[in-house]
A = this chain, B = another copy of it.
Amino acid sequence: MKKLMNAPDAYVDEMLEGLCAAHPTLVRTGERGRVIRDARAPKNGKVGIVSGGGSGHLPLFTGYVGRGLIDSCAIGEVFAGPAVGDCVEAIKAAEGGRGVLRLYGNYGGDRMNFDLAGELVEEEGIRTTTVLGCDDIASAAPEESAKRRGVAGLILAYKAAGAAAEQGADLDEVTRVAAKAVERMRTIGCALYPCQVPGAAEPTFTIGEDEMEMGMGIHGEPGIWRRTLAPADEVADEMLERLLADLPQAHQERVWVLVNSLGATSLDELFIIYRRVKAGLDRRGITVLRPLVGHYATSMEMAGCSLSLIGVDDELDALLRAPADCPFWRNQP
C-alpha cells in the first residue's frame, strides 16, 4: 500500500515532529522523543492523567493531550506498545503532586510496561492508579469483559476523567469517574479494507473485494464474521443491536454516540451510518444527548468504522460537556 512517508524507521518520529510543529500545546519529551505532554503540564495540584499505546491511531492517543483530557502520553512504534522508560517519563510529566491515573487500552504489552512503570514511580513517591479501556465487545464475551480490548471509546473516558481532574477531584475520584465511563461504554467495529504497517511487506490482513468483517479490532484482530458486504443500514442495525444486547439496560436511557472512521472511510459513509443508528435509537426511546461523527481513533488507511455508545447519567453528561482545550477534541457544550 502506498503512503506519503520516508524511511519506515523514521515514520513515527517524523509524524510526532509534524504533530508538535502544528500544535504548539504539544511538547515532545522523553529520552527518545516518544513522550508527548501538554505544554502546560504538570499542573500543580491537579491529578494527572497519562495514556499511551502504539502509533498509527491518530488522533488517538497523542492528539488528546491537552487541558481537560490527558496530560501526557507514551507512544510506541506503529501498533506496538510504548517502552517502559517512556511510560515512566509520561507519568512524571503528568504528576502535579496529587497522583496520576494511568488510563489506556487493554493490550498485554501496554499493561506490562505501564504496570512496571507504575511500580518504578511509586518508589519515587508518585501514587498511581489504573483504569483500562476495554470497550470492544467483539473481543471477548460479556462475562469476560476484563479481557476486552480498548478501542475508540477510550476517548470519552479521557474526556470524563480529564474534566473531573480539571475540576479538582482527587485521584480516587478521577479513577472512579474513568472506571464509570469505561463500564458504561461499548464499541464494535467493522472493516472493509486493511491498513499496512510502514515497512511491512503485506497489509495487516487480506479480504475479498466483495467482503467485509464485523467486529474486527483496530490492529486487524479477527472479528465475529466475514461475509459479503451488506448495505449500510444492515451494518448499522447489527452494530447497534450488538451494543444494546451488551450494555446493561440501566444504562440505555440516555447515550452519547460515537461513529468513528477507521481511516479511509469517508464522512459521507459515517453520516449514512449515523442516520440509521439515530433512527434505531429513536425507535427504542433511547435519547441521543450528543453524537460525535468523524475520525477519532483510526488505523491509518484501514476502511471501516466503529460505533460506540456510552450510557450517561447527569454526572457523566456534564463531564463530557465540560470545556477542554486539546488539538483534536471539539467542545460539545
Contact = CB atoms under 8 A, between A and B. Distances in A.
> How many chain copies does the complex carry?
2
Given A18-B275, A273-B4, A264 B232 contact: no
A268 B14 CA distance: 9
Contact of A264 (B16, B17, B303): B303
Nearest to A211: B2
A250 interface: no
A127 interface: no
A271 interface: yes
Interface in A36-76: 55-56, 58-59, 63
A233 interface: yes
Contacts of A169: none
A18 B270 contact: yes
A275 B14 contact: yes
A107 interface: no
A18 B273 contact: yes
A5 B269 contact: yes
B305 A268 contact: no
- The residue in A18, A212, A269 that gathers the most chain B C-beta atoms within 10 A of its C-beta is A18
B330 A15 contact: no
Interface of A: 2-7, 11, 14-19, 21-22, 55-56, 58-59, 63, 190, 192-193, 209-210, 212, 229, 231-233, 235, 263-276, 278, 291, 293, 295, 298, 300-301, 303-305, 330
Which 3 A-B pairs have CB atoms at the shortest separation, nearest pair first?
Answer: A18-B271, A18-B275, A264-B264
